Structure 1
């Protein structure tokens, strides 16, 4: 029997109705694992180490500046690449050229990073990585509403959602135990994202838009429609704002974990501690995402699970406000992972159900993905200020809790999804 995802589509913008098979989901999973291996592992391990190597006295400032500039690039590129993907009429499909092309461009950035001898070159390399990999992200994210019916979406979204932590954990293991040197780590990131992208593009179908399709209008005309009006699409606006707050809260909680374990908990081996914490986090994410996705699809409800998710994530940050020990750090990692797993399945499913237009799925999801990128700009700025002048890591984790809990209030304002 043919894979339902491979059957001809008479209307490329219609809501999918045929369930996707496990083979398709597995390939999407692997492509996303490779992407997050390459996108998050540098932030967790390689960029902090390189910042300390280039300027040990101002390592936090260097790290924040590099990730902040790269996040601005990502915020600009993601919706533009998504919009271009919506209008691509290549014989190879509308999504696959961007999946593979972005992976190749991002890998060139890793080569630059591996040879960076100063902060300027490091910043340029990371910007190229962000530009390429966020083009890949825009194409892969659009696969969910393109191919997966609503009644199956939270389950598949949960599987896609755990790829961020699986990719990060795999990257942490590889970089800290198997690869010697920062340069080798960057090259491993490039290999991971290219392999995942090529496998997905080679083994899954992609809709080919005819040149006369309305979605193939000029890129310039499309730019005029990139803005999504909150007044005309309030549910999209509320969901976007809530997702943004979840990502800001999460970034405040995890981006400085290596420094926290080194400077506050004072572990003798902070790299090993980071690996243990990420392993606990990953296991909890897996449980939360898989279990919640199935429950949400069966009940048809999304918002109650979002509330549970933000309460768990906010609670994890509160733990680190009160107790800054290694034992509590492990408990917080478990709690945060469980909450993020719950949100990963239902949050993404909810967002795909409030997209403004079927003809612009990748562009609109690119706008959603801005809420993943902007926290990388905001979190370092906030963290630098808080750590230096407003109470240190206790205040940082308090801010993480407040912002995360605010996300639940925002998403409950969505009216068209239960």
Structure 2
């Protein structure tokens, strides 16, 4: 497999020649899980509960307030991820370029979650969530960039799979901690503790033996630094199409998840919607865990990425359409299971595909930060799109139908990527 690069790009040999060891991969995956606990404990349960509590004092509905808070946080994430990725590219020292940012981001994220635990109104809720997004994205940008630093291309599908396992365990763990802790404040505190403890093995561990170190970039002017954040889709078309594919699939997923608690409570009218969210998350996790590593490893062996990403996108679209057409609790369980299968394959293989269309080895942190904008931008767009769909344009049936069409478009665009098989 080859990748398209600009004339001044530094060739990326695909990482070190030797395979990354199990201990290093495990520590990196645990750090990734810690970041996702910090995100999804609030996103799945805690922010929604606080939005419902604070909404009467704002003149907004709970849906609108939650949309504003999560949208503001996602807007911060759009800028934070590539910015901190670029800073990690330029960081030197005995701790290496990535670990200082993982440590600082986790510490800041934990403090932000504790701020949210004490929020007494909508303004503090929004400010605390923006601060959590800022700090946790510093850690996430460094964790993501460590993979092409240390892992050869032929292993990236499998390692991406293990990061996918960590991601879903973080989602389930964050949801579980938020549900079982016994209150909003206790839920935030439990997530904060996990964020700090989870990154310690990676932060305190040794660098991967034999790994190819990242050479920090020499200082440049702020103008050059900022100019580096633009990657022309015309110059790097495969990166552009891969980015758009990821953005659309993630937008579909964000539309499904944003109002899940309210969907179960208000549309399906189940008795315990918080527990319902946890059950659906667990079902999704089981099927995702069953496919995420297998899909990535299978892609490594086949030497192909595009068919796996396309198939995963089609399955995601079908499962989301099921939510639109059959609005019952059994349908929600089936859809959660199918979405897990689709996202399991998509998570690992799409990550490997993205590392293979990066323009330069010297800017991996920054470039993957820009790639990760395709994760954050849907969090901004989803509230703006979902709120009017649910409140004025047809309700949850229309919301999930739109999400299905968006996922289908993402699957179709994979075929435009030419340099990766």
TM-score, normalised via structure 2 length: 0.93
Match of 2:348 in 1: 345
2:218 equivalent to 1:216: yes
Number of aligned positions between the proteins: 405
* C-alpha distance in 2 between matches for 1:219 and 1:275: 48
Is the Cα contact below 8 Å between 2:16 and 2:212 reproduced in 1? Answer: no
- Deviation track 1:224-261 (CA, whole Å, cap 9, x = no partner) reads 21111111111100000000001100001112111110
* C-alpha distance in 2 between matches for 1:310 and 1:403: 10
2:73 equivalent to 1:75: no
2:160 equivalent to 1:149: no
Q: Which runs of 5+ in 2 are unaligned?
A: 1-10
Deviates more, 1:101-110 or 1:198-207: 198-207
1:402 to 380, 400, 405: 405
* C-alpha distance in 1 between matches for 2:155 and 2:259: 36
Question: SS of the residue aligned with 1:229?
Answer: coil
Match of 1:162 in 2: 165
2:21 equivalent to 1:21: yes
Match of 1:262 in 2: 265
Instruction: Tell me by how many angstroms 1:174 deviates.
Output: 2.0
Match of 1:203 in 2: 205
2:309 to 306, 310, 318: 306
RMSD: 1.7
Instruction: Tell me by how many angstroms 1:214 deviates.
Output: 6.3
Instruction: Tell me by how many angstroms 1:198 deviates.
Output: 2.1
Instruction: Tell me by how many angstroms 1:47 deviates.
Output: 0.2
Is the Cα contact below 8 Å between 2:15 and 2:152 reproduced in 1? Answer: yes
Is the Cα contact below 8 Å between 2:38 and 2:195 reproduced in 1? Answer: yes
Q: How does 1:6-85 map to 2 (within 5 A)?
A: 15-56=15-56, 58-85=61-88
TM-score, normalised via structure 1 length: 0.94
* C-alpha distance in 2 between matches for 1:214 and 1:239: 27
Q: Which runs of 5+ in 1 are unaligned?
A: 1-10
* C-alpha distance in 2 between matches for 1:283 and 1:153: 22
- Deviation track 1:160-205 (CA, whole Å, cap 9, x = no partner) reads 012222111112222212x121111111121111112222111131
- Deviation track 1:41-68 (CA, whole Å, cap 9, x = no partner) reads 2111100001011115611111000010
2:302 equivalent to 1:288: no
- Deviation track 1:16-63 (CA, whole Å, cap 9, x = no partner) reads 221011111111111111110111221111000010111156111110
- Deviation track 1:81-125 (CA, whole Å, cap 9, x = no partner) reads 000000011332110110000111112211211111111111111
Cα 1:332/1:214, change in 2 over 3 Å: closer
Question: SS of the residue aligned with 1:55?
Answer: helix
Q: How does 1:308-323 map to 2 (within 5 A)?
A: 308-323=311-326
2:193 equivalent to 1:186: no
- Deviation track 1:339-387 (CA, whole Å, cap 9, x = no partner) reads 0001011000000000111100010000011111111111011110101
